[in-house]
Amino acid sequence: MARPLRIEFAGAVYHVTSRGNARQDIVRDDVDREKWVDWLRRTVETYNWHLHAWVLMTNHSHLFVETPEPNLSAAMQYFGGSYTSYFNRRHRCCGHLFQGR
């Protein structure tokens, strides 16, 4: 059975969590942390988010965002896909980095 669609609308505020697939680490060192923050910055700028708070832990993250446009899914796909591509190239991995929502 397919998962229900995410409810999106202009001006919505979300608490978004992203956990490593099988609870694996999503950052391994400070280089990964800096790249993760850089991809978050790019996402915020590209999708015009208002980022109220965030925390990055070793195997998961939390974002508290406001979306002036209904674009959370597109932005998270951009952010997660871009960071995963970087991570897999750097660490010579393949496949999913993040667990499903």
* pLDDT for 101: 63
Q: Which two tokens stand for residue 90?
A: 């750097």
* pLDDT for 37: 98
The per-residue pLDDT string of the chain (101 residues; one tens digit each, 9 = 90 and over) reads: 777 777 899 999 999 999 999 999 999 999 999 999 999 999 999 999 999 999 999 999 999 999 999 999 999 999 999 999 999 999 999 999 999 76
Distances (CA, A) of 77 to 10, 15, 29: 18, 16, 23
Answer yes or no: are the C-beta atoms of 58 and 19 closer than 8 Å.
no
Query: Tell me, which fold does domain 12-82 have in CATH?
Result: Alpha-Beta Plaits (3.30.70)
